[in-house]
Amino acid sequence: MFDLPIWVIALPVILLLIIFAKVLLGIVSIRETQVGVVVKKFSLGGKSLPQDRIVALNGEPGFQADTLAPGIHVGYWPWMYRVDKYPVTVVPPGYIGLVNARDGDAIPVNRILATKIDCNDFQDARKFLSNGGQKGRQSAILTAGLYRINPALFEMTTDIPIRRIESNKVGVVTVLDGAPMPSGQMAAPVVSGHDNFQNPDRFVLSGGSRGLQEQIILAGSWNINPWFAEVEEFDLTEIPIGHVGVVVSFVGSDEKSKDVSGETFTHGNIVEKGGKGVWKEPLYPGRHALNPKVMRVELVPTTNIVLNWATARSEAHKLDEKLSTITVRSVDGFTFNLDVSQIINIGATKAPWVISRVGSVRNLVNQVLEPIVGNYFRNSAQSYNVLDFLSNRVQRQREAREHINEAITEYDVQSVDTLIGDITPPAELMKTLTDRKIAEERQKTYKVEESSEITRQELEKQKALADKQREIVGSEQDVRIAEMRANAVVKTASGESDAAARRAEGNAMAARRVGEAEADVVAMKGRREAEAIEAIGRAKAEAYDAGVKAMGEHYGMLQIFTVLADKGIRLTPDVLVTGGGQNGGSPSDGILAVLLRDLKAAQK
């Protein structure tokens, strides 16, 4: 025989002991991700489970209410118990868990969901059944997380997404459980305390009614049980710029539904906000969270509205798409067409009164303005002929504006203006008018041409006068220029004369001063010469006296001969004259006579 290790021999023994101990002791092991459901095969005391029960509370055979938590459990012998292991219930994030109880009390006949029981989120089946838990669909839900729930008692649905309402939406709720809808109401009134329909039991206890709800839920994520309430999404009510929204509510509290329009207004009810009827306060531009299933919003333009009574022409608002050209008959029997534009304005605070009276702006146009405007022009046309409308359009417009404004003021609408557009008179009348107009225009043309010819002649005349005037002006200018030149010459001559006089005066003064200077010089020189001559004369006289004294009378003759010799005069005459007269003159006398003659000739 072979020698085996001790542990090899001991291992089967240990295994047999473990199996024997498990069976003998009834050992059951539950993992941390499991829940153990105990099924009792029989009861030693002979107890039996009631026929209307599935889960046992008092040791009866069948599914036991108590489950086994993770760990080692003893006493569950296989011949008496069967332990079924199930995975724990997991509700993932973003989802909710719905619970359907297979056992429990019966749900009241006026309810479709079981009332919530405090049972640790359905993890304590014994507590659920002991405290009156009801079988069937449960109003309570499970949020995201792990739950050790007895699957023998509770059937779970964990793939229900939570209800999300987008930011530009509202949620309209229809509740499937609760009290019956009040008589005469189309939507259940608002009740409080149920956390936006997330607490069905609180909703029912607060008196909430099943059916369409007046209350809405806003944007967000909501843990709403789809067995309890259905939610539909609708767009927010948008009021564009230039409009107001008049709310017509089909639900509301009795207190706020009292008429505030006054005794004189007999065309509908105007109520406070939250009442049933037309709200006194309109909605201004923006987005509003309203329940579109219980309220209607009528858009009312607060800017000027242009309405055209013209075939195939309509404004962008399309309120006048059913209006057409007005056909009228004049007093002279002609039928013709009128295109009319009516401008109106509805004040924001008056909009609820308009809607309460006529229902909508389109009704206002079709049921009020169309007959008022159309009938006015049909009636007024019978007081005028076609030419009045053609030639006095402004006056006809003024009359229409006054009449229509007075007529529509009663409807809380303001008339801004009434305008007459195209007027289409009969063709035969238009031809006559056209011929007349052409004749009138020709006559005007002739008058204009005549006036133009007269103007042209007058222009020619004025041009001729202008030309002559130009010559006259030129002559006058020449005369003025000549005068100016003469004056210039005179002034120049006068200036030159003055200048010459001044120069002459200056020259005379200078000459006078020069003459005086020269005279002084000559005088001084004369005085010097006179003195010299006088000295010479005295010397000569003294010499002559000495000569006379020495020579006697012959000295004088000698002086004469000396002078003659200095002058180049011949001393011997060509003819010798001798004395033979009576008196028997001397020869010197003859010589003297000749000398005197020659001296005179020389002086000449």
**Type of residue numbered 293:** K
Structural tokens at position 455: 């103007």
Structural tokens at position 562: 């000396």
Closest CA to 93 of 34, 158, 147: 158
- How many angstroms from the chain centroid is the CA of residue 273? 35
CA separation for the pair 475, 490 (Å, rounded): 22
pLDDT tens string 151-163: 999 999 999 999 9
pLDDT at 77 (0 to 100) = 86
pLDDT tens string 199-218: 999 999 999 999 999 999 99
pTM for the whole structure: 0.64
Spell out a b/e string for 502-526, using b for 16 or more CB atoms within 10 Å of the CB, else e. Answer: eeeeeeeeeeeeeeeeeeeeeeeee
CA separation for the pair 87, 147 (Å, rounded): 10
CA separation for the pair 178, 175 (Å, rounded): 8
Virtual torsion, Cα 224, 225, 228, 230, nearest 10 deg: 60
Report residue 16's pLDDT band, with 50, 70 and 90 as the boundaries. Answer: low
295 vs 5, which has greater pLDDT?
A: 295
To 5 degrees, how large is the angle CA 159–CA 165–CA 169?
A: 150
Report residue 255's pLDDT band, with 50, 70 and 90 as the boundaries. Answer: confident
Report residue 521's pLDDT band, with 50, 70 and 90 as the boundaries. Answer: low
Q: Which residues contact 489 (CB under 8 A, 6 or more apart)?
A: none
In this predicted structure, the answer to whether residue 229 has a pLDDT above a threshold of 60 is yes
Q: What single string gives the DSSP state of each residue in 489-553?
A: HHHHHHHHHHHHHHHHHHHHHHHHHHHHHHHHHHHHHHHHHHHHHHHHHHHHHHHHHHHHHHHTT
Cα of first residue to Cα of last residue in the chain, in angstroms, is 220
In this predicted structure, the answer to whether residue 434 has a pLDDT above a threshold of 80 is no
Helix axes 370-381, 393-408, angle to 10 degrees: 140
To 5 degrees, how large is the angle CA 480–CA 486–CA 492?
A: 135
What is the 8-class DSSP label of residue 5? P
Tell me what the mean pLDDT of segment 274-296 comes to: 94
CATH 3.90.1150.10 holds for 301-429: no
Judging by beta carbons within 10 Å of its beta carbon (0-12, 13-18, 19+), is residue 588 exposed, middle or buried? Answer: exposed
- How many angstroms from the chain centroid is the CA of residue 530? 125
Residue written as tokens 């004469």?
560
pLDDT tens string 66-95: 999 999 998 888 888 999 999 999 999 999
pLDDT at 581 (0 to 100) = 44
Closest CA to 252 of 222, 270, 275: 275
- How many angstroms from the chain centroid is the CA of residue 147? 62
- How many angstroms from the chain centroid is the CA of residue 358? 36
Tell me what the mean pLDDT of segment 171-198 comes to: 93
Q: Which residues contact 374 (CB under 8 A, 6 or more apart)?
A: 309, 326
Structural tokens at position 432: 């006559």
Tell me what the mean pLDDT of segment 551-562 comes to: 63
Tell me what the mean pLDDT of segment 38-59 comes to: 85
Domains of the chain: which residue ranges? Answer: 23-160, 162-235, 301-429, 431-479, 554-603
Strands 62-68 and 55-56 come out as parallel
CA separation for the pair 532, 156 (Å, rounded): 182
pLDDT tens string 341-356: 999 999 999 999 999 9
